[in-house]
Amino acid sequence: MDQLIGYVATGIVSLVVGLLLQKYQAKPKLLYWVPGTFTFTLNDPKLLIRTDSLTIQNDGKKPASNIEIIHKEKPDHFQFSTAISYSEEITPSGEHVIKIPSLGAKEYVNIQLLSHVKLPVLLSVRSSEGAAQNIQVHLQRVVPKWFTFLISIAMIVGFGFCVYWLVRAIHFISVSIGII
């Protein structure tokens, strides 16, 4: 009977370890955001110009392959801010697809769009590994590293004091009700 329990325990531990390894294995994680859009209204000639920016980042630990940026229609003008290989195609239903062969781990690319006839409508960003996640961004002031270090130290000390007083309170209550 003890041998059977050993086999079952080994099987369960192997299954749990296998599932954890699969969950936490290195894989690509594609993120995208639109950091800014601005519209210019020109009076002479009467013209509306809009600029958009789209940033795509592979936040994972492995390269993302076959990235597709899909717009409802082809944007009037677009340009990558970094040199990158890409191709374009139009789907049978009229969507415009920009294809990037791969994006390395922790690598990002930025696309600038300029519109004057039709506004760009982004439908999706995806790769062979799955759909990209749209994240919200907010511009933030960069503070010096020494300031960040001091704030981190203060937070650690504060957490230590909280744990200390929590342990003291538990001890006091235990002594008060006669457990200790």
pLDDT per residue, tens digit, the chain (180 aa), is: 678 888 888 889 999 998 888 888 888 999 999 988 888 888 888 888 999 999 999 998 899 999 999 999 999 999 998 889 999 999 999 999 999 999 999 999 999 999 988 888 999 999 999 999 999 988 888 999 999 999 999 999 999 999 999 999 999 999 999 887
pLDDT at 6: 81
What pLDDT sits at residue 1? Answer: 67
Give the span between the Cα atoms of 141 and 125, in whole angstroms. Answer: 28
Nearest CA to 57 out of 30, 85, 21 is that of 30
Residue-level pLDDT at 161: 95
pLDDT at 27: 86
CA distance 88 to 69: 10
Alpha-carbon gap, residue 20 to 97, rounded angstroms: 36
Structure tokens at 144: 């010096």
